């Protein structure tokens, strides 16, 4: 099987948003413009204005961050499809937290409209009921879990074998941060900029409220394997388990290391990342892929080579499309 037959599409989560995201694609491709305008119509507010200029500093609010990121990811994906004549048939799709919804859309499980409505409500509820904060620890899961639970916190995300994110009430996170500095003086913990302790029990109220929205959603059979954040296994092909997996995902840890291990078991050799961007430079063309470093470090730990292609702005979408 050639490398093009062993492709996985990946989509980043919250934290990869920035003012101006998508504006280059919007003006460069009618396909991207249609996606952004469709999002405006579906949500009944000017998502384009917030994404491109963010005049009221709203792009960092979860209720806006999540639909903007999903829309940007879909714009990147649709333009990439256009430039490659949709000739790539991926084996898997996967997304980190919010990105799992985009992965389900490209797999045909959700329509763009239904997926956008779901993440809009999800973001609204996470912002409304969100409490607490999150801390990234340079520790393996078991070690991080021990120190977290000793201070009333929980494991929220396993990004790398040696990087685990924990969450808890603000006061507990502060105590944990102090204890960590004392216990591991040569290591550095990093406080994350979120509106709450996502993927912990502090999101349970939001998850229960979101469950009502999930009950009304339709999930179709998938056209490719979609990896679940919660189980690190594939969603059922017929979509029958997806509703519950998305409910659990809100207040249970994201096992990103496990998701990537699953991709290795499917023989993935090529990964394409769509949407988002990180880095201090304000221009879209100077942003870096959010997941690339984490994924490459995991694959090195697995001792598995992987080819990586970013499709996160006009420049990289065009460049990566030419590779296929």
Which sequence positions are flagged as catalytic? Answer: 97, 199
Report phi then psi at 251, rounded to 5.
-125, 15
154-160 and 163-168 strand pairing: antiparallel
| Residue (of 19, 32, 17) closest to 283 by Cα position | 19
The stretches of the chain forming alpha helices (DSSP H) are 23-28, 30-43, 47-52, 62-84, 99-106, 112-129, 141-149, 170-183, 204-215, 242-251, 256-265, 292-301, 314-322
Q: What does the chain come to in residues?
A: 324
Neighbours of 185 (CB within 10 A): 8
Taking only Cα atoms into account, the Rg of the chain, rounded to an integer number of angstroms, comes to: 19
The answer to whether residues 262 and 227 touch, using CB atoms and an 8 Å cutoff, is yes
| Residue (of 134, 124, 129) closest to 15 by Cα position | 134
Neighbours of 155 (CB within 10 A): 22
In terms of Cβ atoms closer than 10 Å to its own Cβ (0-12, 13-18, 19+), residue 16 is: buried
């Amino acid at each position: 099987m050639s490398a093009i037959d062993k492709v996985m599409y990946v989509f980043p989560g919250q934290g990869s948003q920035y003012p101006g995201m998508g504006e280059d694609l919007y003006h460069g491709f009618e396909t991207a413009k249609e996606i952004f305008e469709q999002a405006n119509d579906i949500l009944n507010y000017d998502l384009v204005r917030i994404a491109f200029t963010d005049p009221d500093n709203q792009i960092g609010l979860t209720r806006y961050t999540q639909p903007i990121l999903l829309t940007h990811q879909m714009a990147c994906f649709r333009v990439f499809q256009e430039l490659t004549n949709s000739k790539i048939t991926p084996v898997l799709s996967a997304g980190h937290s919010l990105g799992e919804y985009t992965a389900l859309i490209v797999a045909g499980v959700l329509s763009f409209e239904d997926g956008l409505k779901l993440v809009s409500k999800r973001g609204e509820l996470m912002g409304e009921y969100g409490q607490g904060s999150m801390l990234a620890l340079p520790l393996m899961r078991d070690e991080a879990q021990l120190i977290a639970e000793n201070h009333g916190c929980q494991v929220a995300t396993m990004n790398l074998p040696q990087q685990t994110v924990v969450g808890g009430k603000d006061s507990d996170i502060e105590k944990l941060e102090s204890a960590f500095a004392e216990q591991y003086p040569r290591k550095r913990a990093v406080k994350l900029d979120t509106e709450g302790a996502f993927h912990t029990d502090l999101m349970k109220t939001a998850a229960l409220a979101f469950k009502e929205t999930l009950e009304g959603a339709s999930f179709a059979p998938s056209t490719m394997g979609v990896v679940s954040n919660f189980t690190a296994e594939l969603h059922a092909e017929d979509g029958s388990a997806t509703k519950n997996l998305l409910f659990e995902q809100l207040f249970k840890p994201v096992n990103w290391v496990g998701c990537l291990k699953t991709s290795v078991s499917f023989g993935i050799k090529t990964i394409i990342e769509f949407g988002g961007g990180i880095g201090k430079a304000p221009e879209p063309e100077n942003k870096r892929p959010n997941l690339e470093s984490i994924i490459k470090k995991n694959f090195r730990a697995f001792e598995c080579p992987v080819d990586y292609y970013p499709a996160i702005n006009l420049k990289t979408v065009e460049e990566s499309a030419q590779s296929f």
